Amino acid sequence: MSRVFRRAVDPPVAVRAEGVWVEDADGRRYLDAAGGAVVVGIGHGDTVVAAALAEQAARLAYVHGSAFTTEALEAYAAELAEVAPVPGARVFPVSGGSEAVETALKLARAYHLARGETERSVVIARHLSYHGNTRGALAVSGRPRLRAPYEPWLGHAVHIPAVTEYRCPAPGHPRGCGAWHAAQLERAIEQAGPGKVAAFIAEPIGGATTGAAAPPDDYWPAVAAVCRRHGVLLIADEVMTGFGRTGKWFAADHWGLRPDLLVAAKGASSGYWPLGLCIASAEVHETVTAAGGFVHGLTFSHHPVGAAVGRAVLGRLHDLGLVEAAAVKEPILQAALSAALGDHPAVGDIRGRGLLAGVEFVADRETRLPFPPGERVVERVVAAARRHGLLVYWSKGCADGVTGDVVVLGPPLIITPEEIALIAERLGAAVAEVFAGGD
Ligand SMILES: Cc1ncc(COP(=O)(O)O)c(C=O)c1O
């Protein structure tokens, strides 16, 4: 009997990983087409990062963030500020994405309090979004299936429509969608009341919830303008999309978006250390600091080893040109997926940016009708893919929160074209098997 409170029934025992490959105790090798949960950007088994981790741990493993700063952290924050799309970036490192979101939400509130705008507490988010599983982060997440058991605890976030080009709710789609979505946000701000909204939080490009759905180009400029007009802070959740995943350093860079707060995790450390980041603008930082400081703290925030790992990962992204690589490999991945799956009657849409991709399954391509959740379509595809030696990420509810099956791909950015071809081949075989009833 295992003493681990496991997250899966009888999972295989992983013993080593290198590049895009993970090996289990039985010697089976899996092509990791999702980098775990879209975490591993620089690839598995990077000895440069492992050495940086070991060196920092041996020299100075831990001091409390309220007592000391460290060379590792100062150097990391300075280098990160060079690439983060936040004006005058100030970095508050934590241990993961949910903690980073909690930090950003509290910081938004602290900013308004510091300015004497004490009524600003409402957070607006989007339906079909994910910002984390802790209570505050879940409260802003638009994921009905994850929220359901905890609904009585979840506070008062307001949700506006998701942005999914495949299922766009804007009446004039594809024309004027940005303006339509911006109008939804403006209406929500006005309904909450003047001076009541603290922040709008959203993923610049959708992550697992919508299956890598990118907004139209007129979305972010229009939405950011509404935030500015109403004094609402814009929080960009780049936990899944940051650090090169979509072919830019951050997804916000696709539209020149400059959020007041940006949260990241996953690719920040590529999984070598549990690292999350809340990056605040100089304006937010200075306002809160001048009013007496940020009432917030976590034992493992500002961790020197996390900083050393984050810095080493940044170095690898620079040295190996991985941000550009993700952009260059986007058409290779999209073409391979289209060739393998594009004609399948159950594949409704193949989409994505950089090396973040989504494959959405539908019961009817014409009407885009999702499968009933009880058919467990995506779960069966994931299991079949694993039998074919392919690890993929997935989610359910991408159509309306309950129905809609999507496989999410986010391989390490070091992946080769041959390995991309193998992803498409194995996923194609898995999908064929499931819909032939052979799973
Ligand atoms: C967009 C987004 N925000 C927040 C989170 C939460 O991050 P974590 O699981 O590290 O707490 C995730 C995790 O998948 C995410 O994709």
pLDDT tens-digit map of 372-388: 999 999 999 999 999 99
Element of type H or E holding 347: strand 347-353
The pLDDT of 177-188, averaged and rounded, is 98
**pLDDT at position 115 over 70:** yes
Residues 260-293 have pLDDT tens digits of 999 999 999 999 999 999 999 999 999 999 999 9
State the burial class of residue 140 (Cβ atoms within 10 Å of its Cβ: 0-12, 13-18, 19+).
Answer: buried
Query: Domain-by-domain residue ranges, the chain?
Result: 14-45+323-435, 48-319
* The pLDDT value given to residue 372: 97
Rg for the chain (alpha carbons), in Å? Answer: 21
Establish whether residue 97 lines the binding site of ligand 1, counting it when its CB lies within 6 angstroms of any ligand atom: yes
For residue 254, the CA-to-ligand 1 centroid distance in Å is 21
The pLDDT of 23-30, averaged and rounded, is 98
**pLDDT at position 202 over 90:** yes
- Nearest atom, ligand 1, residue 134 CA: 11
Establish whether residue 265 lines the binding site of ligand 1, counting it when its CB lies within 6 angstroms of any ligand atom: yes
Q: Kindly report the CA angle at 181 between 141 and 406, in degrees rounded to 5?
A: 50
Which CATH class name applies to 48-319? Answer: alpha beta
Residue whose CA is at the smallest distance from ligand 1 atom 7: 97
Establish whether residue 101 lines the binding site of ligand 1, counting it when its CB lies within 6 angstroms of any ligand atom: yes
Residues 235-262 have pLDDT tens digits of 999 999 999 999 999 999 999 999 999 9
- Nearest atom, ligand 1, residue 209 CA: 16
**pLDDT at position 438 over 70:** no
For residue 211, the CA-to-ligand 1 centroid distance in Å is 14
Establish whether residue 126 lines the binding site of ligand 1, counting it when its CB lies within 6 angstroms of any ligand atom: no
Residue whose CA is at the smallest distance from ligand 1 atom 16: 240
Establish whether residue 237 lines the binding site of ligand 1, counting it when its CB lies within 6 angstroms of any ligand atom: yes
14-45+323-435 homologous superfamily: Aspartate Aminotransferase, domain 1 (3.90.1150.10)
Q: What is the DSSP letter of 44?
A: B
Establish whether residue 239 lines the binding site of ligand 1, counting it when its CB lies within 6 angstroms of any ligand atom: yes
Distance CA 161, CA 159 (A): 7
For residue 130, the CA-to-ligand 1 centroid distance in Å is 7
* The pLDDT value given to residue 439: 73
Q: Which residue has the tokens 């090798």?
A: 29
Establish whether residue 240 lines the binding site of ligand 1, counting it when its CB lies within 6 angstroms of any ligand atom: yes
Task: Report whether the peptide linkage leading into residue 411 is cis, meaning its omega lies within 30 degrees of zero.
Answer: no
- Average pLDDT in the chain: 97
Q: pLDDT confidence of 155, banded at 50, 70, 90? A: confident
- Nearest atom, ligand 1, residue 99 CA: 11
Q: Which residue has the tokens 């509130």?
A: 109
Q: pLDDT confidence of 42, banded at 50, 70, 90? A: very high
For residue 126, the CA-to-ligand 1 centroid distance in Å is 15
* The pLDDT value given to residue 3: 97
* The pLDDT value given to residue 18: 98
* The pLDDT value given to residue 435: 95
For residue 110, the CA-to-ligand 1 centroid distance in Å is 22
Establish whether residue 271 lines the binding site of ligand 1, counting it when its CB lies within 6 angstroms of any ligand atom: no
For residue 223, the CA-to-ligand 1 centroid distance in Å is 22
Establish whether residue 102 lines the binding site of ligand 1, counting it when its CB lies within 6 angstroms of any ligand atom: no
Closest to 332 measured CA to CA, from 359, 352, 317, 346: 352
For residue 208, the CA-to-ligand 1 centroid distance in Å is 9
Sign of CA dihedral 153, 105, 159, 274: negative
State the burial class of residue 363 (Cβ atoms within 10 Å of its Cβ: 0-12, 13-18, 19+).
Answer: middle
- Nearest atom, ligand 1, residue 265 CA: 10
The pLDDT of 76-89, averaged and rounded, is 98
The amino acid that residue 62 corresponds to is: Y
Same fold, 14-45+323-435 and 48-319: no
38 phi and psi, to 5 degrees? 55, 50
Ligand 1 probe mutation, 7, 99, 263, 266, most atoms within 8 A of CB: 266
Establish whether residue 96 lines the binding site of ligand 1, counting it when its CB lies within 6 angstroms of any ligand atom: yes
Residues 308-350 have pLDDT tens digits of 999 999 999 999 999 999 999 999 999 999 999 999 999 999 9
* The pLDDT value given to residue 437: 81
Q: Which alpha helices (DSSP H) does 25-133 contain, by range?
A: 47-59, 71-83, 97-114
Establish whether residue 215 lines the binding site of ligand 1, counting it when its CB lies within 6 angstroms of any ligand atom: no
For residue 142, the CA-to-ligand 1 centroid distance in Å is 13
**pLDDT at position 421 over 90:** yes
The pLDDT of 150-162, averaged and rounded, is 94
